[in-house]
Amino acid sequence: MTNNLQHALVIGGGIVGNLTAYLLATRGFKVTVIEADSLGSHASGFAFGELGDLEGAGIPDPLLNFSVWCNKRHESLSTELYEVSGIDNEFTTVQRVTLAFTSEEETRLKDHLKWQTQVEEYDTYWMNPDELTALEPRISSRCLGGAYISNAKAVEPYRCTLAAAQSAQKLGVETLLRKVTNLLGRGGTCEGVEFFGGRIQSDLVVLAMGPWTKLASEWCGIDIPVTPLKGQMLRLKTNGEPLKASFHYGSSYAASKSDGLIWAGTTEETVGFDETTTVEARDGIMADLLQSLPFLEDAELNQQTACLRPWSSDGIPIVCKAPGWDNLYICTGGGRKGILWSTGMAEGIVDIILNRNSVVPSLEELHISRFRGI
């Protein structure tokens, strides 16, 4: 191998795969990324991009500290990747409001605030209807209030992925557009991969294939409990002023983005690897949106997108060395928080590869052994 460097293969060209490749390259590895389609062409390129580390799967237990760490790492990494690649991933501070329309939602959000206000990185409090109207006069009069975060963070996901990919390439990382079909293995040692038309050898392999990581279960003899969770989103054009904050309601959201459009979503569909957009999803997203922001009734649909998120069976990522293998690693399962968690997942798997203590908190919670029978 060239210069006797360890050769690492990273299978998957999304945000996790490209960040892992970049970080491995900074540690002196010769790295090849293998992607079946194109970089960031699935969930990493079509995600919402808001780094919501105070809500969702695994939060507050066991992943609050992990999520807050990931958010902080995005800030430092955005500067680092910009200096290497020249690509601005638009890391920014945003106002975030989670709205309540029923007394049950209000109670739940206020209960969450009891621990959210203790997270020193954020300024979080309850806004009553008058305060919400002062922030955004166009919000529905049905709203009972909302949990407000004044200093939430966000990135532009595709630019985030592109910055990682181009930074990696500047450090010598190669990218192959191939579809991997099997692992080359002997006695618990992974010697590389096979793909349509050939094979490539390596010293270690990282499976970072998003929901397609499930396909590797047959290759490595391990049940990797990750499935596709389809999410559709609308991008809307309106002549009005941008939204004053990002608004979240139920499992959906709406926010003005740097492209001048309002992004609204999302769905959670278990339909296999079907990435087509549907009229039903469009109508459902709009119905939810108009309950919160009725002024958007006349908005023009600019684009509808769909992507497949890698959803583990407990909603928490899988980041570990594959059981029974000396040099095969799994890094997937970010679900709806894939962009946020990508920094901790990538840093964590690199520390595992280097067999060193990690600064990433709660990394032990991400081992695949938590699933029964593995």
pLDDT recorded at residue 197: 87
CA atoms of 346 and 2, how far apart (whole Å): 24
- Among candidate residues 312, 317, 319, the one with its CA nearest the CA of residue 358: 319
Per residue in 113-123, pLDDT (tens digit) is: 999 999 999 99
Q: Write the CB contacts of 283 (distance below 8 Å, at least 6 apart in sequence).
A: none
Q: Are 69 and 47 in contact (CB under 8 A)?
A: no
pLDDT recorded at residue 41: 63
Confidence of residue 38 (pLDDT cuts 50, 70, 90): confident
| 1 has pLDDT over 90 | no
Q: Write the CB contacts of 49 (distance below 8 Å, at least 6 apart in sequence).
A: 154, 155, 156, 157, 160, 339
pLDDT recorded at residue 4: 60
Bigger pLDDT: 372 or 191? 191
Q: What is the DSSP letter of 215?
A: G
Specify whether domain 93-154+227-312 bears CATH 3.30.1130.10: no
Bigger pLDDT: 240 or 272? 272
**CA end-to-end span of the chain, whole Å?**
34
pTM of the entire structure? Answer: 0.95
DSSP 191-203: EEEEETTEEEE-S
Confidence of residue 373 (pLDDT cuts 50, 70, 90): low
Stretch 322-346: mean pLDDT, rounded? Answer: 96
Stretch 112-138: mean pLDDT, rounded? Answer: 96
pLDDT recorded at residue 186: 86
pLDDT recorded at residue 39: 75
Per residue in 273-315, pLDDT (tens digit) is: 999 999 999 999 999 999 999 999 999 999 999 999 999 999 9
| 96 has pLDDT over 50 | yes
DSSP 107-157: HHHHHHHHHHTT-TT--EEEE-HHHHHHH-TTS-TT--EEEEEEEEEE--H
Helix (H) or strand (E) holding 293: none
pLDDT recorded at residue 3: 47
Percentage of the residues of the chain whose pLDDT score is greater than 90: 91
Which residues are paired to 331 by β-bridges?
319
CA atoms of 84 and 170, how far apart (whole Å): 7
Stretch 347-362: mean pLDDT, rounded? Answer: 97
pLDDT recorded at residue 40: 65
Stretch 221-247: mean pLDDT, rounded? Answer: 95
Per residue in 163-216, pLDDT (tens digit) is: 999 999 999 999 999 999 999 998 899 999 999 889 999 999 999 999 999 999
Q: Are 8 and 156 in contact (CB under 8 A)?
A: no
Topology of 2-74+158-222+314-370 in CATH?
Answer: FAD/NAD(P)-binding domain (3.50.50)
CA atoms of 369 and 312, how far apart (whole Å): 13
Q: Are 358 and 331 in contact (CB under 8 A)?
A: no
**Domain boundaries defined on the chain:** 2-74+158-222+314-370, 93-154+227-312
Equal fold, 2-74+158-222+314-370 vs 93-154+227-312: no
Mean pLDDT, rounded, of the chain: 94
Residue 101, CA atoms < 13 Å, CB-side half-sphere:
14
Bigger pLDDT: 45 or 225? 225
Percentage of the residues of the chain whose pLDDT score is greater than 70: 97
Stretch 365-371: mean pLDDT, rounded? Answer: 96
CA atoms of 181 and 191, how far apart (whole Å): 14
DSSP 12-32: --SHHHHHHHHHHHHTT-EEE
| 2 has pLDDT over 60 | no
Query: How many other CB atoms are found less than 10 A from the CB of residue 331?
Result: 30
Interhelix angle 338-353/157-170, nearest 10 degrees: 30
